[in-house]
Every structure is written in C-alpha cells, then in structure tokens.
Amino acid sequence: MGQDSTILDAVIVGSGFAGLYAIKRLRDAGFSIQAFEAGDGIGGTWYWNRYPGARVDLECWDYSYSFSPELQDEWDWPERYPTSSELMRYLNHVADRFHLRESIQFNTKVTSAVFDEQANLWNVTTSYGKTVKARFFVPATGVLSVPKPPEIPGIETFGGQTYHTGRWPHHEVDFTNKRVGVIGTGSSGIQVIQALAGKCKHLTVFQRTAVFVVPAKNHPLTPAMRARVRATYGERRAISRLTRFGIAVPMSSESAVEATVEERQKKYENAWENSQLLGFRMCYGDILADEAANETVAEFIRGKIREIVKKPDVAEKLLPRGFPFGTKRPCLGDTYYSVYNRDDVELVDLRATPIERIVPEGVVTSDGLHELDVLICATGYDALTGALTQIDVRGLGGRKLTDKWSEGAKTYLGLMTAGFPNLFTVTGPGSPGPLANMSMSIEQHVDWITHCMEHLRDHNIDRIEAGQHAEEAWMQHVQEIVSRTLYLKANSWYLGANVPGKPQVFLPYLGGHGTYRKKCDDVAAAGYEGFVLRHRAESEAANEPVNAGHGEAARSAAAGMLGGGA
C-alpha cells in the first residue's frame, strides 16, 4: 500500500479459521501483512480444544471454507461432524496448500496495539517486546478463545490433575482407573462426558444448568456421500449465504402454536431422528419468539429425556427448565442422556446441592465430599469480547478499548468501533458470528474487510473509522432485534451473563446472516455509509474528516436507515 518497507499494511492476530483466511485474502490483494499466533501451531480454537470428544456440531459441508472450489473438491471429510483432530488436519492442509505459514509468527502473543493518530499507524507490540507498525490492525482472535475459570474457592488446592476444556494439553491424558469430575454441562461438557463415560473408574458430573441435548446422528461419510455433497457444493453455498443461519436448510414460517398436536409431533419426531444443530429451530417460525411455541419443543425434548434415562430421579434433574429452548446454545450428543444409565456415572445437581469449595481430595458440595483424581472444568469462555479486551488496545486520544466497552461492547456492524480507526474486528460483537455458521460469517467479514482496504488504497484514503451515530444506531438495532425474541430470558454467554462482573449486553446480531450480509454490502456500495473516511492529503493537513458524502449527513442517513429494523 505504501512505500516504507518497515511499515506493514496489516497485522493479523490469530491463525484459526479467521486468521488463515485473512492472511490469504489480504496477501492475494497485494497487502503486506504479518500474523501473530500465541500457540505453536495453527488452528485457533481447535488448536486449544483437544479434549476427548471435541468435534464441531455443524456438518462438515457447512463448517469449512467455501472460497476455493479446488479445496472443496480435494478434501475428504471422514465423518459428518469432524473431530477437533480432523479439523486440525484440514486447517494444516489449508495453511500448506496456500503457503500461509510463512506469514505467521508462532508462540507470539500480541500484548498491545496503540494507534498513532499523527502517523495513522498501529504500533503493535508482542510478548517478545518487539513493536511493529501497520496501517491496519485485524484481530482475528475468535469469539470463544479465552477460557473462563469456574470461580470456585480452593480450586488451586486440588491435589489431582485439573484441566480446562478450552486449554487442553497436547499430550495424551490417561483416565484409566481415575475418578473424574466434570464441572459444566454446555457443549464442551456434554462432549467430554460422553467420551469419558466408561473410560474411567468413575465419572461425576457437576451440573448447574441442565441443557437441551439433541441427537447428533454422526456417521462416517462414504465416497458416494462425499460425491453427492461435492456435486451440490456450489448451489448449497449460494443458498447458505442468503439464509438466517448461514446453512442451506429452509426455515419454516409456520407457527407452532397454530399447528395441531399431531402436526407438531410429526415435525419434532422428524427433527429428533434426522437431527442437526438447528433442526428444531427450523421447524416453526415462532419457536425463538413465542414462549408457548417454544414450550412445545422444550416439552417434546423433556419427554425424550424421560424415555431414555431409566432412573426417574436422575431424569428429573436432567430436564432443562427456566430458560426457553435455543436461548442457551443447544448441544448435540448421541449418547449423552444414556450415559446416566451407567452405574459408574453420577449426576450432582448443583441447584440442590451447590459446590462450597474445592479441597485437595475433590469437590465439596452441600451434601459432602466427592473424591476425585482428575477435575475437568468445562466452564466456558469470556466470549465475544474476551480476546480483544485482553490486548491493551488504545485508539484516538489514547483511549482504552476496555474503557470504551466498560458498559458493553459497541461497534458499527461488528466490524469497527468508533474512536479506533483502521481496526477491523473479524466476527466482532454486533455481527451474527456465533449465531450463524461461523466459517461462513468469517469469510463474509474477511471478504468485506479486504474489499474495504482495496477501496481505501485505490482512493488514497488512509483512515476509516466507524461513525459515532452509525454505531449507536447499529447497536440500538441489535438490541431492538433481540428484544423481539426470547433470547434475553436466558443467562447465556451471548449476553455476557456467564462471566462475573461483565456488562450484560446481548452482542450477536440476530437479524440473520443473509440480511446482515446484504446490509454490509449496501453500506459498502453507498461509499461506506456510516463510516468516516479521510484522504491522505487531508490527514497531513488537518484532523477534520472531509470525505464528501460520508460526513455527518451520511451518518444521520445511516442512523435513520438502520433504526428501521431488519
């Protein structure tokens, strides 16, 4: 982009799905880039999540890159839902095939990023103390990458081995003859519980909130199945880009409350038998918006739990209650409920007998000590903002990102935050990110960012920033959309409710992937409406924004447009 070879066009943080694709796209577009990765290998979330049973619960033909037809054609997925090691194999293949590794410095944490407003450059400092200068800062740090500890007194005194699912060691952990405890029953806990039942001496599950778990129906893929998928990849991806969840499964617009009991039963049985993560949510248009509609699904799944779990008292504890179906992320698992029929698996209901402390011998709940050799914390993440706020990011006037977001993250379109020019957040808060197909959300964001940077380069613009009014209007719109749904009725990580002291603001955009993609494209087509752009010559002369058509009038127009709802 510029002449000075010591100044990079962009620093990228992370080498998971997002970081790898950002390296590829920005490099192909002719930008000089450097990526930093804290781990000693690529893979991002999959690099750290190697716990037994770890696998993605979107199907491989959706949870994979779509940018290269050749890559799609040559890659053989062995199973419907790839394991973490299969995903690592895939991502390593992508890194090798497109020569991405050469742009990544491993074992290097980015510790700070400070914007120099005179020079319009980000000074990015790493754990080695070295600072690099770049025009753009692109954290591709993932939405679920900073593990959340369980905040239980005495945890450091435990005498056995302690693990967090989100920081699993890279060596084999032997569970033979071990008494294992798992705290947490979200997606990670559900997977690790299924994998360890029967593989250790005794498994104790500490459950605070029972979740909805629907069958995964995972199976190996035959060559014929793979050929069928390949033949329709193009069409599938094109449809997915327009849908609410970024996958090519039609969403019904019918109402669950208006359907007869028989109609509902038939649909729900079909969803149970031919399940995939979003199956139940697709059955009726009002499931995530109407409590009575939602309760029909919830009660159907509770009925299945009662059928599978033989001991009625245990089944009763496993019944999810107190939040609508889908408002905490549902989980997938083929054997989850049946593991509780085993004599060597015990469920501890923390609502009835809360954890008091951890001691060297194990976990003490209000009904006594549960002796353990291994303690697994499947207690989740400081989601959506944790990885960004771990970096000491400072924007205009030296303002810290943590100060700006002290009452909740604010962005325009989940792509930029006002006061922090030339910083793009890949699948940042305020975008659909984790409420749609993540790999598709990542590609959409990275493509948009690349086009934006090309536009700036072509028009000699050296600064872009989210407009204050556009940002406020967008965040208002994000809240407006969620308020029409049931999502605010659950203490979920979407809301930051799982991290003590975190501001509780619902951060993912719920208007749907397709709608959101169009909005981003429209904003770009209108000359980056709502953003403030500054020409290089103007930067040198003054600090006043001058982009014709992109000033206050355009920002007000954007505010009006966005306030109208999706």
Residues of the shown chain interacting with ligand NAP in the complex, contacts defined by CB under 6 A: 55-57, 144, 150-152, 165, 183-189, 191, 206, 208-209, 329, 350, 355, 378-381, 434, 493, 498
- Identify whether the C-beta of residue 135 lies closer than 8 Å to the C-beta of residue 46: no
CB of 275 to ligand NAP, least distance (A): 14
Phi, psi torsion values for 154, nearest 5 degrees: 85, 0
CB of 60 to ligand NAP, least distance (A): 12
Q: How many CB atoms lie within 10 A of CB 39?
A: 17
Beta carbon nearer to ligand NAP, 184 or 530? 184
Which amino acid, one-letter code, is at 551?
A: G
Taking the C-alpha atoms of 437, 62, 31 and 39 in order, what is their torsion angle to the nearest 10 degrees?
80
Beta carbon nearer to ligand NAP, 448 or 493? 493
CB of 508 to ligand NAP, least distance (A): 11
Tell me the torsion sign for CA atoms 151, 152, 157, 163: negative
Three-class SS string for 448-472?
Answer: HHHHHHHHHHHCCEEEEEECHHHHH
Residue sitting closest to ligand NAP (CB): 186
Packed helices 513-525 and 438-458: angle between N→C axes, nearest 10 degrees? 0
CB of 143 to ligand NAP, least distance (A): 8
Beta carbon nearer to ligand NAP, 430 or 496? 496
CB of 145 to ligand NAP, least distance (A): 10
CB of 388 to ligand NAP, least distance (A): 17
Q: How far is CA 73 from CA 9, 65, 67, 252, 442, in A?
A: 32, 11, 12, 31, 20
Beta carbon nearer to ligand NAP, 363 or 466? 363
The tokens describing 343, both together, are: 């004599």
Helix (H, G, I), strand (E, B) or coil at 214: strand
CB of 120 to ligand NAP, least distance (A): 36
CB of 147 to ligand NAP, least distance (A): 8
Indicate the burial class of 382 (C-beta count within 10 angstroms; 0-12, 13-18, 19 or more): buried
CB of 205 to ligand NAP, least distance (A): 10
Residue that has been written with the tokens 């536009």 in this structure: 455
Beta carbon nearer to ligand NAP, 175 or 493? 493
Which amino acid, one-letter code, is at 340?
A: Y
Beta carbon nearer to ligand NAP, 58 or 259? 58
- State the first-to-last Cα distance of the chain, in angstroms, to the nearest integer: 36
CB of 378 to ligand NAP, least distance (A): 5
Which amino acid, one-letter code, is at 216?
A: A
Q: How far is CA 197 from the centre of its chain?
A: 27
Give the DSSP per-residue string, 137-170: EEE---SS-SBPP---TTGGG-SSEEEEGGG--S
Sequence-distant (6+) residues with CB within 8 A of 562 are 470, 473, 474, 476, 477, 519, 530
CB of 226 to ligand NAP, least distance (A): 21
Beta carbon nearer to ligand NAP, 163 or 381? 381
Beta carbon nearer to ligand NAP, 55 or 477? 55
Beta carbon nearer to ligand NAP, 134 or 288? 288
CB of 374 to ligand NAP, least distance (A): 17
Beta carbon nearer to ligand NAP, 184 or 511? 184
- Identify whether the C-beta of residue 98 lies closer than 8 Å to the C-beta of residue 386: no
- Segment holding 213, helix H or strand E: strand 213-214
Residue that has been written with the tokens 């799609």 in this structure: 72
Helix (H, G, I), strand (E, B) or coil at 175: coil
Beta carbon nearer to ligand NAP, 187 or 439? 187
Beta carbon nearer to ligand NAP, 99 or 357? 357
Which amino acid, one-letter code, is at 296?
A: T
Q: Which residues pair with 164 in a beta bridge?
A: 377
Residue that has been written with the tokens 């054609």 in this structure: 73
Indicate the burial class of 33 (C-beta count within 10 angstroms; 0-12, 13-18, 19 or more): buried
